[in-house]
Every structure is written in C-alpha cells, then in structure tokens.
Chains A and B, each alone.
Chain A
Amino acid sequence: MLAFILKRLGQSILVMLAVALIAFVMFRYVGDPVASMVSQEASIADQELLRERLGLNDPFYEQFFRFIVNALQGNFGISYRLQTPVAELVMSRLPATIELALTSAAIALVFGILAGVFTALNRKNPAAAAIMAFSLIGVSLPTFLIGIGLIYIFAVELQWLPSFGRGQVLDLGWWTTGFFTETGLRSIILPAITLSLFQMTLIMRLVRAEMLEVLRQDYIKFARARGLSKRAINFSHALKNTMVPVITIAGLQLGSIITGALITETVFQWPGIGSLFLSSVAVVDVPVMAAYLIFVGFVFVIVNLIVDILYYVVDPRLRIGAAKGH
C-alpha cells in the first residue's frame, strides 16, 4: 500500500511537470501580456523594454526552468494584473472556491445518489421518468444561462437570494468562511446549485445504471432470500456495490467541479480562483494562469490518488493486489 502511494506520488510529480510544461507552451498562444499591461500611448520602445524586463524575450526553456525553480520554493511571482504576489492571491481566493466546490459536490452527491437510487428502484414510475428527463436540462444548457436564469428568478423577481458575491465572511486568519453567517449561507445557494447541476445529473445516471445492474445480481436475490429488510438491501447491500464506478466518476467530477467553476464563479462574481483565472486569461496574466494550472493539476493528482485509495477501502477484493485465478 505504501509502495503504491509512493509510486503514484512519483508519477504525480511527472504529471505536474507535464502540466507546467504544456501550460508554458500554451501561454504563447493566449495573447501578449505586454499588450494588455501598457497603456495605449506606450511606444514600441517602451513595450520592448517591458518585455525585456519581464524576461519574455528569454528562450522558452529558460523561462520554464526559472518558473519551476521558483515554484518549487512556493514563489509563483507577481501578478501582472493586480501586482500582488500570486501565491498570496491564490491563497486568499482558495477558500471561496473550495467552499463552493465542496458544497456543490455535496449537493451533487447527495441528490445525485438519492435520485439515482429512486429512479432505479422505480424504473417504470412516471415521477422517475420525469426526474430523468428534467435532469437533462442541466446538461443541455450552458452554465452561464442557467446561472443567469437562477439570478433572474431568485434575485431579481423573488428577491429571496443575493445575485452576486459571497456575502459576509468570517476571517479566521488563514481561511475565510461564509458558512457561519446568514448572508454567507444565502449567497452560496445559487452558485452551488448551478455548479452542481451537471455533476448531479451525471452521478444520478450513473447510480441508476449501476443500481439496475446490481439489483439483478444473485447476492441481492440471496439477501432477499435471507429475509433482510428492504432498506438493508437497497441502501446497504445494493448501494455499496454501486460505489466503485461512482467513486471513479465522482472523483473525476470533483476535479472538474473546480475547473467547471470558471464560468459559475464569473457569473455569480464569486471571489474564487476560477474567476481570478478567467480575469487573468483576459489580460494574459501569465503568473496567475500558471499557478492556477499547477493548482488544478495538483487537485486532479490528489483526487485520483484518493480515488485509488478509496477503491481499496470500499472494495476488499482490490486489497490483495492482483492475486486472482481465472
């Protein structure tokens, strides 16, 4: 087990290096940072000077090497746009994103699993069919439209919930949280729903499909033959067996919740790293973009690792490695 984790960690480092490398190649195509940093009257000579100072004229590998060396020391440079240290900037935005992502993931998991179980157990029920169809709206409309639709209904027309921002947050020094204030809790509702819709649909469909498969397994029939209660059968025996594929996808989705938060955060002016990233793309703020990508790469790597470990926890068959006859 430990060897496995070590091996995966080694691979993870390679993954992150690859992410950084591709990110660096990519920055050449996102635009020219200098063009958005100088004012309209800066002369060509001035622009050239700035480019030189930022090291943008150095060979690509030198810039990359410098970035890696600095990043290893936790130094991601200074944001071109906001002129503050990137590490600090990212850290101050992280709580917002993480709280949003976790809330969305929780909504997606809880409702996705419940709805999935419900629709699987009542396959012919019209309510289940309605849930299945309705959930698809979540994947067939662009996020920005869903977000704006929710804002229009709940903020403008009904005036129940705030339309933007994070409300009042509690500053704990190293973390800011909106979970303990009323406005904070109200503010997270709409963005969390918007963000979770897609994952919820996916998880629901997955759980339903897996449940249908599992419910027809012999061990479920045998559990019934042993006279176990319906709840024990559906939620303990059947659901646990659907978990392996659900964990894979849910894990991947938790990662994509963070990348998916780009649009949601922008629509709701949620002060997380997603909206920070998008504003940085608009002005080619390379240090912030690089830090963001590294961070997301890191999240994926960690999530994948956790998923692999969870397999072991959930499915005892995997615990002894590959020992299997035919």
Chain B
Amino acid sequence: MSQPVLSVKDLSVVFHLRRGDFTAVKSISFDIMPGEVLGVVGESGAGKSMTGTAIMGLIDPPGEISSTSITLSGDRIDGLDEESLRKIRGRRIGMVMQDPLTSLNPLFTVGEQLIETIRRHLPLSQDEARARAIALLADAGIPDPQNRIDSYPHQFSGGMRQRVVISLALAAEPELVIADEPTSALDVSVQAQIIKVLKRLCAERGVAVMLITHDMGVIAEAADRMVVMNKGEIVETGSVGDIINRPKMDYTIKLIEAIPSITAQNPRYAAAVAKGHSFASEKTDEPLVVVDNLTKQFDLSGSFLSRITGRNRKIVQAVNGVSFSIQRGQTYGLVGESGSGKSTCARMMVGLLPPTSGTVSLEGTDIWSKGAEKKRRSKIQMIFQDPYASLNPRWRVGEIIAEPMRALGIARKPGEIAERVADLLERVRLDPVSMRKYPHEFSGGQRQRIAIARALSSQPEFIICDEPTSALDVSVQAQVLELMSRLQEEFGLTYLLISHNLAVVRQMADEVGVLHNGNLVETGPVEQIFGAPQADYTRMLLDAVPDISKVA
C-alpha cells in the first residue's frame, strides 16, 4: 500500500487551566490513506474536534499540542512556525469547522470569501478564481451558483451555508479534508448529497477525509474505517462494518446500542402488537389539545407606509392551516425539514406568538381567548430547542426551577419551594446540591434535564418539547428520552415532540404529523406514517435517512 496521507503519532492536547492541566486528547495515533474516509465518533467532549484542530495547528493558548510526529504525505507538519502553517492550511489540508452558521464572516459575500481563499493558494486571475468558485458551489449542490455567489452568508439557509463551508475547504484541492460535523445542520436529503460529494472526491482524486461526527448513520453511509474516541483516547479502531456489527469495547457497545434506529418499530406499538392489541385505535377519549386550522403569517414589509398601502408587502406563510389533535397522555411527533414551521406552531400553542387565524384549544378552551391565560400558564409548558439559551445564565439552577412555582403561586414558603426543587432535581436524576450552581457549570445533557425540571415545576399537563435532544450526543440523548418516557408514565403527561431526527420520533411518538413549508402534509399513527407513508414528501424524507443497519 502507498504512503498514508496523514499519519499522527502520539498526539496530545493539554489545556493549562487554573485548576490544573486538562488533557483533551491523550496520545492518540492513527493514519489515513489516500482516498480513504476515516470516521471519528465519540460522545460530546471526547476530543474529536480537538484532534482535527490540533492537526491544523490551530490550538490557542492555554491549549498546547505535543506529539511524536504528524506527517502529511511524508512531510512533518508539527512544530512548524505560523507562516509555514499558513501555506499548508487551506492548500494541503482543508477543514470544515463544526459550526457552519458562525464559520463564515457575515460581512463578506460568499464569493469574496471563496475567491480570496482560491487566489491565496492557486495562481489564478480574479476571473478564473470566480469561475472556479462557481464550479465549487455547483459541486456542493448549491442551486443557481452564478447568482448566489454574490449573496451574503445570512441570505443562505443553514444547510446552504454548510455547503459553502465545504466548498471553501475544497477550494484549493487539498490532499486531506478534515470535516467536523459537516452535515449536522442539514436535512436528511441534503445530508445525503454532501456525503456523495465527499465520496466522489475520494474516489476521483484520492483525497483523504477525516470525518468527525456523532451521527453513526453518517459514518455508516460514508466512512471506510472508523475511530471511536472517549475522554481523549482512542477506544477502538477498525472497519466500519466491524465496529458497528461487532463492537468489542464496552464503551463502543453502549454507544451503538444507544442509537435509535429509524427502522426499529415503536416499542409500545411492538409491545401492543405482540400482545395482540391494536395500538392505533385508542382514540376514545376527548383529545386534550386540538389544533384547528392554525395559520401564521409574518409581515416582513419594511415600513409602516408600505404596510398601510399594501404595496411591496413581503408576507411569509410560516404555518398554513394546520389541524391535528393530541390525546391525553400521548405523544404527538411533529417532523419536517428546517424552516417548515415546527417551532412557529409550538410558539403559538404555548402562548408566545398569537396565531393569524385558527385556534388552539386545551380541554375545550381556546388558549388565546380572554381569561384563558391562567389556565394556559399552569397547564402548558415548553422545553426549548437550545437548553442553554433557555436558562438565564445569571441565575442559580434552584431559582430557575422555582420561578414557575412562584409565578403561578404553586408554592410560596421558601422551605416548601426548596423541598419541591430538590424533589424535581431528583426526579430528573440530578443531585439536589446542584440547585446552588449556575447553568454554565453543567454539561449539555444535564442542562436539558434542568430545563425539563423547570417545565415540570409548574405541574403542567401538556409539555411542548422543541428539539429536546438536538444539542445532545446519542448516549445522552438516550438518557433524556428515557427520562421523558418515564415521566410521562409517572405523571400522565402529554407531549408535543418536535424533532427532525426521525428515528427519535418513531421511538417516542404515538401519532406523527409531517410539516412541509407550513402545510401538514400527512398525519396519523406513528407506525402508519413510518410503515406506509402516503405523501411523496414523507417518503423522500424517510428514504434519505442514513442508517447503520445498511452497513454490511
């Protein structure tokens, strides 16, 4: 076999922090061959991104890199000075950074950033560089690249931005591409397309790819070999098929088990079927929540004047005549690609955003009618998409959880409140001592549990969960989902579960609605939707989901 494109020996990354050193990566070694895709997986904080950043020489103080050697096609690249590194970065190693939304400079057009990078590394004229930039965008699947090249990043959707970042990484035809979560912001269909581009590069030009992700499905689909990391160390390495089908180490086994599969049937459905009951026909009670013909328009017209005269009106139809109902004690899953109106629905149902038309009724009362506020506040709660942003960083966890009790007058005496908070924390499996701490002192999974504890604090009947696990890695996600199911059983809660992770929805929901451009294209019992989807859009969505079970 030929020489590896990248060879890493004994790489360590140490952060010199005030409370002692923290080793993010512990002497790891691995190689990547030309044309090979190496998948790197592991739970959040395992050191995956650090490894990639360290290879680029981009670790900032107080971080420090040490290694025996890092070679790129035989050339040592560790310990080089900043200037020599600049010649390698972008030119020989391309990198896709983890967060595409913030990786692009918002003040420069996509084209400017591409051309700048191309001309820095390749001897091309302005026009040639522009032509190349357009070709790159087209490769990455951006429609109409001639026109879109002069757009600013904010004019692109998250998925498009991610594709631009990929084009940028590929701009100077590097030998090695380090792609850190390149598809995390994409819907499944676009994700599939990107994976195709990467694979084609490997095949056609022998480029080596280091693909960092926590989505096992993507690995299964794209990678040849994979590395499993935990706490800065490599736990296991081998071919994708080997590891997924025959994991050896405990950690790997746990990780693989935690992955919800899109093809696995809903457990309750499966149980019901096993017992011979029919799962879908429980629709006997009066539904708890009824959404009827819900519509939301956003008026984006700039000025007061044009709003009055009605000229130049720019109206976004975010939600369009959506109707569905949710049974008490059940979970309704709402799926759909990014921007399809899921969160907007949620905000109207919780009382944050008045609907343009249509009604949301809870136990028969319209929550937007006069005098319904009290009921709405005490019975509906929401868990937000980003747990960190929904916790006030300046408040202690105890205060955060206690706020709904105070505001709704559920408990008033300090002693009683403290008791209840402690109880709630225990229920979400957190140490009651943590009520003294601030949100930033918790991990993502723990924060999500705090958010759940707060939602439970007001003793609601109905909880809207907007992407409750999107910020979490698979193992933590599994814990949170498990917790939610347990609480549902305990308190008889009703959930609206919003997610673009279809596997999660299949596992959790009793009924499912599919949103597309604000329209509810399909709704029905979970196994009906997943098992026999009716709408084209649903079918397309389901087809695009990568799945580990496809690995041979």
Contacts and interface: CB of A to CB of B under 8 A. Distances in A.
A170 interface: no
Contacts of B87: 227
B90 A241 contact: no
A100 B145 CA distance: 49
Interface in B315-348: 316, 339, 343
Contacts of B97: 218, 221-222, 225
A224 B168 CA distance: 12
A237 B103 CA distance: 12
A3 B303 contact: yes
A27 to B, nearest CB: 36
Contact of B117 (A221, A226, A323, A326): A226
B491 interface: no
Which of A7, A226, A237 has the most chain B CB atoms inside 10 A of its CB? Answer: A226
A227 B105 contact: no
A217 B121 contact: no
Interface in B391-412: none
A227 B300 contact: no
Given A3-B305, A226-B120, A229-B120, A237 B154 contact: no
A316 interface: yes
B90 A4 contact: no
A212 to B, nearest CB: 13
A157 to B, nearest CB: 47
Contact of B343 (A218, A226, A227, A326): A326
B132 interface: no
Interface in B184-235: none
A21 interface: no
Interface in A224-259: 224-230, 232, 237, 240-241
B112 to A, nearest CB: 10
Given A224-B58, A225-B56, A232-B116, A314 B305 contact: no
Contacts of B375: none
B86 interface: yes
Contacts of B303: 3-4, 7
Interface in B70-124: 82, 85-91, 95, 97, 99, 102-109, 116-117, 120-121
Contacts of B103: 218-219, 221-222
Contact of A222 (B88, B104, B300): B104
B293 interface: no
B106 A316 contact: yes
Nearest to B298: A323
Given A219-B103, A219-B105, A314-B107, A227 B86 contact: yes
Contacts of A224: 58, 86, 89
A219 B97 CA distance: 9
Question: What range describes how many residues of B lie at the interface?
Answer: 35 or more
B151 to A, nearest CB: 9
A321 interface: yes
Nearest to B98: A218
A173 interface: no
A325 interface: yes
Contacts of B152: 316-317
B102 A217 contact: yes
Contacts of A218: 97, 99, 102-103
A315 interface: yes
B105 A223 contact: yes
Interface string B328-370: 0000000000010001000000000000000000000000000
A230 B83 CA distance: 9
B300 A225 contact: no
Contacts of B120: 226-229, 232
B302 interface: yes
B306 interface: yes
Contacts of A229: 86, 120
A322 interface: yes
B428 interface: no
B180 to A, nearest CB: 10
Contact of B105 (A3, A4, A241, A320): A241
Contacts of A230: 82, 86
A226 B168 contact: yes
Given A4-B302, A315-B107, A323-B300, A225 B102 contact: no
Given A217-B102, A316-B152, A316-B154, A228 B117 contact: yes
Given A7-B304, A316-B154, A221 B106 contact: no
A34 to B, nearest CB: 48
A321 B306 contact: no
A288 to B, nearest CB: 39
Interface string A292-326: 00000000000000000000001111001111011
Contacts of B116: 228, 232
A315 B305 CA distance: 24
B117 to A, nearest CB: 5
Nearest to B103: A222
A219 B104 contact: yes
Nearest to B93: A225
A227 B90 contact: yes
B304 A219 contact: no
Given A315-B106, A316-B154, A221 B89 contact: no
A3 B301 CA distance: 11
Contacts of A228: 86, 90, 116-117, 120
Contacts of A217: 102
B455 interface: no
A55 to B, nearest CB: 40
Nearest to A322: B300
A323 B339 CA distance: 13
B302 A241 contact: no
Contacts of A320: 155
A222 B169 CA distance: 9
A79 B99 CA distance: 64
17 contacts: A7-B305, A221-B58, A222-B103, A224-B58, A224-B89, A227-B86, A227-B87, A227-B88, A227-B121, A228-B116, A228-B117, A232-B120, A240-B105, A322-B300, A322-B302, A323-B316, A325-B339
Interface of B: 56, 58, 82, 85-91, 95, 97, 99, 102-109, 116-117, 120-121, 152, 154-155, 165, 168-169, 171-172, 300, 302-306, 314, 316, 339, 343
The 4 A-B pairs with the shortest beta carbon distances in the complex, nearest first, are: A227-B90, A227-B89, A3-B303, A218-B102
